[in-house]
Structure 1
Amino acid sequence: MSRPHSALRVASAVELGSLAVLLANLSTVHLAPVSSLAGPLHGCAYLVVVVAAARDGDLAGKVLAWLPGIGGLLVLRRLARTPREKAASDAPG
């Protein structure tokens, strides 16, 4: 049984981690093999985040997904808060 948004969760973590590796490599020794591995990994994770957010999110989530590195995490945060806000607004008051 899979958790909701698990693809988005994994892709956003991989995207952020690979971006951190790329930036650390760029600011220190700039090894070509590290860039050759982490660059395409980051690009694929970024595309998965954008597609998953387009499938699961609202308009604001789709726009947030285009932010490199943190966009997926922001979409996940938005998706996690949406059900609680709906429940609070549906409660009799």
Structure 2
Amino acid sequence: MTPQRALHLIGTLELGTLILLLANLATIHHPSIAAALGPIHGLTYTATIIIAVLVRNGRHRIWLLSLIPGIGGLLAARATEPVDSKS
């Protein structure tokens, strides 16, 4: 698995856990759901930043994008993709 793919996967998990946390907050607001998903979201957010720092390839924009909660991991993964040059 490439680091870019890992960043995309972790970013997707981070977004998914955030959506579930917000859905829980907006609907039933069950404390056990928040207690289970909160740490998972925190870990995926931290992992997103760590992976972005490791794959930044000298570009600060990549890890700065990863600091945005929720979609930052996906934005950073997109920023790591090589730019196709049109010949």
- Fold conserved (TM > 0.5)? yes
Query: C-alpha offsets along residues 11-58 of structure 1, whole Å, 9 cap, x if unaligned?
Result: 111100000000000011100111011100000000000000011022
Name the structure, 1 or 2, with higher relative contact order (CA <8 Å, separation 6+).
2
State the partner residue of 2:35. Answer: 36
State the partner residue of 2:19. Answer: 20
The structure with more radius of gyration: 1
State the partner residue of 2:75. Answer: 74
Unaligned runs of 5+ in 2: none
What RMSD in Å do the two structures reach over aligned CA positions? Answer: 1.6
**More helix per residue:** 1
SS at the partner of 1:5? helix
Measured in 2, the distance between the counterparts of 1:60 and 1:36 equals 32
Kept after mapping to 1: 8 A contact 2:3/2:51:
no
Runs of at least 4 residues off by over 3 Å: none
Return the letter of the residue paired with 2:54.
R
Return the letter of the residue paired with 1:76.
A
Indicate whether 1:65 and 2:44 are aligned.
no
Unaligned runs of 5+ in 1: none
Call closer, same or farther: CA 1:45–1:34 in 2, change over 3 Å: same
Post-superposition shift, 1:69? 0.3
